[in-house]
């Protein structure tokens, strides 16, 4: 059976618009935007970053999922995994009857003709796509355009004999999908680096060589099969998971460029090093906006709203935590009381902090949200903050 793939919606945008508004819209947030992104509530002043929350790609992915459920009311509709990294959004999709192949008891091998499978905004690996096509599923592809742009560059690297060095998290769905694109050509190779420290190890090997097996062991989970640093680091091209911290990606590109120049000479750079700016524009806009907010306003603390496994949200929290007390929360339920908040520290540990909301004086709180956080959740957090700050 020839596969059927929907990539540009399913013709039901108007039909699901009301449901999307009811589930994700916030009248309070619209009012705050119209008031120059500021909200007064008793002793509390909220300053909202000028770019926050749902980006176009996320909004599109959720829209397509609602359309798919409406278009195929009698068929089983699956998602390959989380459509975006927001627990509230994913739970709402489960409530619509959309099943997640990543949930316990589900099995991708059992889907087939008559089933509908939604591909998430992160995309899926080549292997997963080919399996679903072989099994005859109807596919709804919500892969973000920014991700597709990275894939295009990675395929070009592989075609031209360059190893893709991907700045990202090797377990992240997007990075796994991107890495699979590098293997579409016989000599395609990839290596995933998380941060400057790992990049420094790579750069040292480019310059001076080293213990080949130790290098392979260190990067084994994050490198293509058979990766040989003695050969595969001779020509490299940088790509990014689209939600990483832009300043870090730029620095990593510079580190790799310099290592190649040191080893082979500046004249060899065009033949041995490439880099494209592949950070998502929405990710960059949200990072720029929160930096602008921190520079412009005197704040007592920052609240960053979004899923703990949302890379772009975690990076917003990193930016803020370097400047002032910051609380990365998944949603309104994390605001336990005026005396306690449950949040994720930048080291990835979830904790409950006490005494987080200073009492009995005016407070200025900055708020931003990751690209997978709907306005409804941001509005709930602001309402709860007002209630806590002005209680008693």
Q: What is the 3-state secondary structure (H, E, C) of 223-250?
A: ECCCCCHHHHCCCEEEEECCCCCHHHHH
- Locate 365 and state its tokens: 């709180």
Residue with tokens 């176009």: 56
State residue 261's pLDDT score: 98
Fold of the 146-279 domain: Cobalt-precorrin-4 Transmethylase; domain 1 (3.40.1010)
Q: Which residues pair with 139 in a beta bridge?
A: 5, 117
Supply the pTM of this predicted model: 0.92
Q: How far apart are CA 191 and CA 189, in angstroms?
A: 7
Q: Mean pLDDT for the chain?
A: 95
In the structure, what pLDDT confidence band is assigned to residue 260 with cuts at 50, 70 and 90? very high
Task: Enumerate the active-site residues.
Answer: 174
Q: Give the mean model confidence (pLDDT) for residues 215-239.
A: 97
Residues 6+ apart with CB under 8 A from 119: 80, 129, 139, 140, 141, 142, 143
Q: How many C-beta atoms surround the C-beta of residue 255 within 10 A?
A: 18
- Locate 283 and state its tokens: 């990710």
Fold of the 25-55+282-389 domain: Cobalt-precorrin-4 Transmethylase; domain 1 (3.40.1010)
pLDDT digits (tens, 9 = 90+) for 133-165: 999 999 999 999 999 999 999 999 999 999 999
Residue with tokens 């580190």: 255
State residue 141's pLDDT score: 97
3-class secondary-structure state, position 192: strand
In the structure, what pLDDT confidence band is assigned to residue 305 with cuts at 50, 70 and 90? very high
Q: How far apart are CA 235 and CA 160, in angstroms?
A: 10
The CATH number of 57-143 is which of 2.60.200.20, 3.40.50.300, 1.20.210.10, 3.40.50.11270? 3.40.50.11270
Same fold, 25-55+282-389 and 146-279: yes
In the structure, what pLDDT confidence band is assigned to residue 303 with cuts at 50, 70 and 90? very high
In the structure, what pLDDT confidence band is assigned to residue 2 with cuts at 50, 70 and 90? very low
State residue 165's pLDDT score: 98
Domain map (residue ranges) of the chain: 25-55+282-389, 57-143, 146-279
- Please say whether the beta carbons of 329 and 310 come within 8 A: no
Q: Give the mean model confidence (pLDDT) for residues 254-280.
A: 94
In the structure, what pLDDT confidence band is assigned to residue 392 with cuts at 50, 70 and 90? low
- Locate 274 and state its tokens: 């490439």
Q: How far apart are CA 310 and CA 55, in angstroms?
A: 13
Per the document, the length of the chain is: 392
Sign of the Cα torsion 211, 217, 223, 225 reads positive
Cα separation of the two ends of the chain: 66
- Locate 342 and state its tokens: 């449950």
pLDDT digits (tens, 9 = 90+) for 364-391: 999 999 999 999 999 999 999 999 999 8
Dihedral of the CA atoms 55, 59, 62, 67 (nearest 10)? -160
State residue 328's pLDDT score: 98
pLDDT digits (tens, 9 = 90+) for 340-367: 999 999 999 999 999 999 988 999 999 9
């Amino acid at each position: 059976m020839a596969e059927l793939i929907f990539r540009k919606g399913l013709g039901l945008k108007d039909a699901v618009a009301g449901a999307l508004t009811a589930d994700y819209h916030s009248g309070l947030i619209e009012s705050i935007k119209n008031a120059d992104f500021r909200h007064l509530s008793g002793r509390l002043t909220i300053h909202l970053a000028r770019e926050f929350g749902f980006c176009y790609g996320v909004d599109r992915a959720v829209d397509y999922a609602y359309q798919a459920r409406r278009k195929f009311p009698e068929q089983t509709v699956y998602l390959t995994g989380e459509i975006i990294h927001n627990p509230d959004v994913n739970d709402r999709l489960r409530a619509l009857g959309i099943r997640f192949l990543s949930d316990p008891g589900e099995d991708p091998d059992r889907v087939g003709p008559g089933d509908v499978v939604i591909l998430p905004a992160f995309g899926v690996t080549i292997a997963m796509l080919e399996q679903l096509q072989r099994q005859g599923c109807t596919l709804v592809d919500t892969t973000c355009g920014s991700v597709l742009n990275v894939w295009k560059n990675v395929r070009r690297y592989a075609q031209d004999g360059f190893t893709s060095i991907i700045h990202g998290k090797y377990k992240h769905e997007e990075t796994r999908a991107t890495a699979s694109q590098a293997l579409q050509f016989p000599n395609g190779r990839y290596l995933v680096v998380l941060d400057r420290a790992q990049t420094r190890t790579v750069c040292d090997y480019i310059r001076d060589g080293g213990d080949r097996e130790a290098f392979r062991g260190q990067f084994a989970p994050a490198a293509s099969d058979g990766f040989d640093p003695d050969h595969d680091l001779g020509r490299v091209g940088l790509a990014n998971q689209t939600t990483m911290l832009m300043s870090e990606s730029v620095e990593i590109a510079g580190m790799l460029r310099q290592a190649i120049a040191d080893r082979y000479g500046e004249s060899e750079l065009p033949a041995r090093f490439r880099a494209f700016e592949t950070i998502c524009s929405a990710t960059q806009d949200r990072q720029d906006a929160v930096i602008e907010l921190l520079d412009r306003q005197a704040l007592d603390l920052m609240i960053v709203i979004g899923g703990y496994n949302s890379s772009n949200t975690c990076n917003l929290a990193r930016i803020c935590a370097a400047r002032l007390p910051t609380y990365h929360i998944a949603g309104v339920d994390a605001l336990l009381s005026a005396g306690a908040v449950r949040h994720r520290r930048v080291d990835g540990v979830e904790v409950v902090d006490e005494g987080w909301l200073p009492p009995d004086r005016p407070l200025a709180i900055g708020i931003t949200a990751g690209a997978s956080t709907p306005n409804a959740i941001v509005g709930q957090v602001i309402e709860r903050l007002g209630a806590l700050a002005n209680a008693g």
